[in-house]
Amino acid sequence: MLQIFRTKYSHLSRELTLFIIATFAVGMGASLIDSTLNNFLNDSFSLTGFQRSFLELPREIPGFIVVFVSAMLWFLGSRKMGAFALLLGSIGIFLVGFASKTYTVMVMFLFICSMGQHLFLPVASTVGMELAREGKTGQRLGQMNAIRNLAVIFGSSLVFLGFKYLNFNYEYTFIMASISYAVAMVMMALMKPSKVEKVNTKTFLKLRKEYTLFYVLSVLYGSRKQIFMTFAPWVIVTIYGKPTQTIATLLIIGGVIGILFQPLLGRAIDKLGEKVVLATEAVLLAFVCLGYGFGKSILPLNVAFILACVCYLLDQVLMSVNMARSTYMKKIALQDSDIQPALSASITIDHVFSISVALLGGVIWNHFGFQYVFLLGVLIAIINFFATMRIKIPAQKNGTIQAEETVLTTD
C-alpha cells in the first residue's frame, strides 16, 4: 500500500507520506468511534443525560494528565510517542467492544483508549508543523485536517451502510477502529525518529508567563469543545430520537465540507492571522449554540431538527479552527523545544475546564433543560471573542529553514 501511494505521489517525502497515511488511519478510527459511541452507550447502558455527562469524567481525565504522561515519555520524541499513543488507543477500543461486560469495566477500557487519543493530539500538531515549510504551518495543518476529513467520510459511510444494510453491530465498528489505530501506529513507528531535546521534566511541566494568553485560549477551547462533543450529539440522539445512521450521515457531510474547507482555513490562518480566524469562530459559535438550544422551542419539530443538523455541521467545521491556536503557539514560542510541552500543557489545561463543563452541563440539563447548557456555550463564545482580540503576533524571528525541514517537507 505504501509503495503504491509513493509511486503516485512521488514528490512527497517518505516522512510526509507515512504521516499522511497515519493521519488518514487515525481519522478513520476516530470516525468509527464517534459515529457509534453515543448510541452504544444509550443502547447498552441506558444512560440519563447526567450519567452521560458524568461519563466524561473518566473519559477526559486522560486529557488532564496528558502533560504529565508526555513529560515521562519525552525521551521517545514526538513520533515514537505518537506510535505508543496509538497502541493504547487500539487496545482500548478493542476491549470496549469485546470485553465490556459491565459499565465499570467499560469505563476502564474507555480510559485506556482515551489516554491514547489524548496523548496523540499534541503529537499530531507537533509533527505536522515539523513537516511544514517556514510560514506554511497553517497550510500544512489544514492539509492534514482535510485528509482526516476524507477518512471521516470513509469511516462514517461504512457505519451508515453497515448498520442500515449489512447488520453491523457495535463490535464490528470497534474492531475496525482498533485496526485503523494499529495501522497508524505502524506508520508512526516507521517514521524517522524526531530529534529529542534534552529537557528536564520539571521544565517540561513549567507554565511560562509569556504564554498566558495561549493558556487562556486553551481554557476557552476546552470549555466550548465539551459542549459540542458531549451535548450536541446527545441532543440529536435523545431530544430528536435519531438512530446511529444520523450521526454517521452528519459526519459524512461534515467530512466532505472539511475536505474543501480545511486547506482554505489553513491558508486563511497564514494570510489573515490567528486573531481574525479565532474571532470569527467565536462569533459563529454563539449563533450555533443558540440554534442548538432554542430551535426546538420556536420552530416546527422537523425544521428544528434540520437547524440542529446545520449547527452540528458548522460546529464540526469550527472545531478545526483549533489549528490556529497551535500555529499561534509556534509563532510566540521562545524556542522550538517549548512547542510540544506547551501544546501538551494546553490539553491538560483545557481538560480541567472541559471536565468541569461536562459535569456542570449535566446538572444544568437535568435541573433546567438542555437549552440552558447551550446558553452557557454562548457565554463562553463571548468571552472567547474578547480574549482573542488580545492576540499579538511578535515580529518573525530571523533565521533560515532548518536542514531537516528542507529535506522532509514539500508543498
Cell numbers linked to 300:
416546527
Residues in the chain, overall count? 411
Site of grid cell 506508520? 187
User: What is the band of 399 on the pLDDT scale with cuts at 50, 70, 90?
Assistant: very low
Instruction: Evaluate whether residue 222 is within a structural domain.
Output: yes
Write down the number of H helices and E strands in the chain: 18, 0
User: CA 316, CA 70: separation in Å to the nearest integer?
Assistant: 27
Q: What is the pLDDT of residue 88?
A: 94
Q: How many CB atoms lie within 10 A of CB 223?
A: 25
Q: How many CB atoms lie within 10 A of CB 212?
A: 11
Instruction: Evaluate whether residue 404 is within a structural domain.
Output: no
Site of grid cell 460546529? 315
- Tell me the pLDDT tens digit for each residue of 183-200: 999 999 998 876 666 555
User: What is the band of 181 on the pLDDT scale with cuts at 50, 70, 90?
Assistant: very high
The total number of structural domains in the chain stands at 1
DSSP state string for 328-351 = HHHHH-SSGGGHHHHHHHHHHHHH
CB 348 within 8 Å of CB 64: yes
Share of the chain above pLDDT 70, in %: 87
CATH of the domain at 294: 1.20.1250.20
User: CA 142, CA 254: separation in Å to the nearest integer?
Assistant: 15
Reported as type and span, the H/E element at residue 308 is helix 301-319
Q: What is the pLDDT of residue 382?
A: 92
User: What is the band of 48 on the pLDDT scale with cuts at 50, 70, 90?
Assistant: low
Share of the chain above pLDDT 90, in %: 13
User: CA 144, CA 54: separation in Å to the nearest integer?
Assistant: 32
CB 143 within 8 Å of CB 21: no
User: Residue 133 half-sphere exposure, CB side, CA atoms within 13 Å?
Assistant: 8
Cα angle value 37/81/316 (rounded, 5°)? 35
CB 140 within 8 Å of CB 128: yes
Instruction: Evaluate whether residue 409 is within a structural domain.
Output: no
The arithmetic mean of pLDDT across residues 296-301, rounded, is: 84
Q: If we measure between CA atoms, which residue out of 74, 85, 253 comes closest to residue 156?
A: 253
User: CA 130, CA 16: separation in Å to the nearest integer?
Assistant: 10
| Domain ranges, residue 274 | 14-191+203-391
Q: What is the pLDDT of residue 187?
A: 93
Instruction: Evaluate whether residue 274 is within a structural domain.
Output: yes
Per-residue DSSP letter, 209: G
CB 366 within 8 Å of CB 48: yes
Instruction: Evaluate whether residue 196 is within a structural domain.
Output: no
User: CA 170, CA 44: separation in Å to the nearest integer?
Assistant: 10
- Within 8 A by CB and 6+ apart from 150, the residues are 24, 27, 255, 259
Instruction: Evaluate whether residue 282 is within a structural domain.
Output: yes
- Tell me the pLDDT tens digit for each residue of 309-330: 898 888 888 887 888 888 888 8
Does residue 336 have a pLDDT over 50? yes
Instruction: Evaluate whether residue 54 is within a structural domain.
Output: yes
Put residue 392 in one of left, alpha, beta given phi > 0 → left and psi -120 to 50 → alpha: beta
Q: What is the pTM of this model?
A: 0.69
- The amino acid occupying position 188 is M
Q: What is the pLDDT of residue 397?
A: 47
Q: What is the pLDDT of residue 403?
A: 34
Higher pLDDT, 251 or 5: 251
Instruction: Evaluate whether residue 117 is within a structural domain.
Output: yes
Q: Exposed, middle or buried: residue 193 (CB in 10 Å: 0-12, 13-18, 19+)?
A: exposed
Mean per-residue pLDDT over the chain, rounded = 80
- Tell me the pLDDT tens digit for each residue of 100-116: 778 888 888 989 999 99
Does residue 153 have a pLDDT over 70? yes
Helix 322-332 and helix 137-165, axial crossing angle in degrees, nearest 10: 150
User: CA 219, CA 98: separation in Å to the nearest integer?
Assistant: 35
User: CA 225, CA 352: separation in Å to the nearest integer?
Assistant: 12
Does residue 206 have a pLDDT over 60? yes
